[in-house]
Structure 1
Amino acid sequence: MVTKRPRWAPDPETYAARKPPRSDAYREVADREDHLRETGIWWTEVDTSPIVANDTDGAWRRFRANLPEQVWNAARLEGMAFTLAEVQTLLEGHTVGGHPTTDELRMLALAQAYATLRDLVGYGTFGVDKSTSDHLNRIIARHETPDAGRFRGEGTLRRNGSDHLRSRFAVLREHLAETDDARLLALIYFCAAARTRFYGAGNIRTALLMTNGILISNGCDAITIPGPRRLELDHALDTLTTTDDATELMRFLVDCAR
Structure 2
Amino acid sequence: MLFTSIKQYSDINSHMDIKKFIFIVEKILPDFVFNTGSLEENPFTFPEVQTLLDGIIVGGHRVSDEQQIYDLRSSWEYLFELVKKDDFQLNKETFNNINIKVAINEALVSGKFRDSQVRIGGTDYIPPKAEELDLSY
- Length-normalised TM-score, structure 1: 0.39
Which residue of 128, 132, 135 maps to 2:97?
135
Larger Rg: 1
State the percentage of identical aligned residues.
31
Task: Measure how far apart 1:130 and its partner are.
Answer: 0.9
Which residue of 169, 172, 188 maps to 2:136?
169
Q: Does 1:147 align with 2:114?
A: no
Aligned twin of 1:55 = 16
The one-character-per-residue Cα deviations of 1:135-154 (angstroms, maximum 9, x if unpaired) are 11011111221211111239
Give the number of aligned pairs.
114
Q: Does 1:72 align with 2:34?
A: yes
Q: Does 1:106 align with 2:68?
A: yes
Retained in 1: the 8 A contact 2:30–2:46? yes
Q: Does 1:119 align with 2:81?
A: yes
Instruction: Tell me the distance in 2 between the aligned counterparts of 1:148 and 1:82.
Output: 23
Answer 1 or 2: which has greater helix percent: 1
Instruction: Tell me the distance in 2 between the aligned counterparts of 1:56 and 1:129.
Output: 23
Retained in 1: the 8 A contact 2:82–2:88? yes
- Give 1:101's aligned amino acid: V
Instruction: Tell me the distance in 1 between the aligned counterparts of 2:41 and 2:32.
Output: 15
> Helix, strand or coil: the match of 2:42?
coil
Task: Measure how far apart 1:60 and its partner are.
Answer: 2.5
**Root mean square deviation, CA, Å:** 2.5
- Length-normalised TM-score, structure 2: 0.69
Change (3 A) 1:76 1:143: same
Moved over 6 A (4+): none
Task: Measure how far apart 1:56 and its partner are.
Answer: 4.2
- Give 1:165's aligned amino acid: L
Which one is further off, 53-62 or 114-123? 53-62
Change (3 A) 1:91 1:98: same
Instruction: Tell me the distance in 2 between the aligned counterparts of 1:90 and 1:116.
Output: 19
Retained in 1: the 8 A contact 2:44–2:65? no
Task: Measure how far apart 1:98 and its partner are.
Answer: 0.8
> Helix, strand or coil: the match of 1:106?
helix
Q: Within 5 Å, which residues of 2 pair with 1:1-258?
A: 38-39=1-2, 55-57=16-18, 58-153=20-115, 164-166=132-134, 168-170=135-137
Runs of 5+ unmatched residues, structure 1: 1-37, 40-51, 155-160, 171-258
